[in-house]
Structure 1
């Protein structure tokens, strides 16, 4: 059998003027550090909540479609009106969910206890990069599994610290920033 070869990843290259692409590349880099390098498990609870609300809304829309097919318009008027109002009500709930529960969190990583005796610690990452701005803000939130105590730390850096002049993402410059943020929160945990 051939010895294991390390697979080299293609460097991420983006348009430096596209703030959405910049933010996504930096978010993906932070995910890679916690999930691939530190070995944490990704939790999809927040996204599942969003999908659940959307599924119910689509269910109302499909029910209205089928009902209108079986009982053409004059007969289906009340059902169509109820389903349409329910759909828009659920879209309002979805907006509130995104604004007050998800709050821009793009990763929830679970740090499992090695002995599997304690509840998992949570690491939440959220970020922002405004259009036409060059400062990337990353917030890391640590939630202790036992006490449910929450601590957070934020780092703000210019995006040109992590991309070269050709738009290639320099992961080796970005990883220490994530590791230091994580280490600062871990050190606070040990002090308590």
Structure 2
């Protein structure tokens, strides 16, 4: 492991600078989201909570089970004998897809990271940090939001920024992590300072 003098983060020797095609919006957003994940987990030592992703995977798995069962049933009991089972499986699959759409739109939303800040004494409930991001198609403005929930008081705070992705990528499409980390740290510290004033 080596330490980046500018950013303070530890990077493995085999890590390479993140370079992407500048005009690929999805790649730009994913690389910035991954950088936030790395900062929150390695700089602040927060533990990632995979519950949102796990629920989505369960919904998708159940949907696939319905589809696979319909396929297997039709193989052993060819149509029209399998008509009733196929109908039930198809309807169930579309219901599960509806549930998935509702879940991603109204529950998971644009959250790509949920982390827990453990109480040092191990007595109080965890503080929860939720991170959202948005980069619209054909737009260069990246929005990052950090939501904080105090584990004890349940008080919620949030901080956000919107900047052009050109602030963090050079002309070759390489992410300048030290610049991006400063902005993420500023959002984080803004919330932390408010939290300390309340205590």
- TM-score higher than 0.5 here? yes
Q: Deviations along 1:116-140, whole A, 9 cap, x unmatched?
A: 1111111111101111111110011
Q: Deviations along 1:127-186, whole A, 9 cap, x unmatched?
A: 011111111100111111123222211101111110111111000001111111011111
Partner of 2:16: 10
Partner of 1:67: 73
Which of 158, 161, 166 is matched with 1:160 structurally?
Answer: 166
Partner of 2:31: 25
Partner of 2:127: 121
Partner of 1:34: 40
**1:183 aligned onto 2:169:** no
- Whole-angstrom CA distance in 2 between matches of 1:59 and 1:20: 30
Which of 75, 82, 88 is matched with 2:94 structurally?
Answer: 88
Alignment of 1:132-171 (within 5 A): 132-171=138-177
Give me the TM-score of the superposition, normalised by structure 1: 0.93
- TM-fit CA distance, 1:65: 1.8
5+ long unaligned stretches in structure 1? none
- Whole-angstrom CA distance in 2 between matches of 1:97 and 1:149: 25
- Whole-angstrom CA distance in 2 between matches of 1:93 and 1:150: 28
**1:111 aligned onto 2:105:** no
- Whole-angstrom CA distance in 2 between matches of 1:52 and 1:91: 12
- Whole-angstrom CA distance in 2 between matches of 1:149 and 1:82: 45
The worse-fitting range, judged by mean Cα deviation, of 11-20 and 82-91 is 11-20
Give RMSD over aligned pairs: 1.2
Q: Deviations along 1:100-125, whole A, 9 cap, x unmatched?
A: 00111111111111111111111111
- Whole-angstrom CA distance in 1 between matches of 2:156 and 2:96: 30
- Whole-angstrom CA distance in 2 between matches of 1:109 and 1:88: 32
- Whole-angstrom CA distance in 2 between matches of 1:136 and 1:110: 24
Partner of 2:56: 50
- Whole-angstrom CA distance in 2 between matches of 1:155 and 1:42: 22
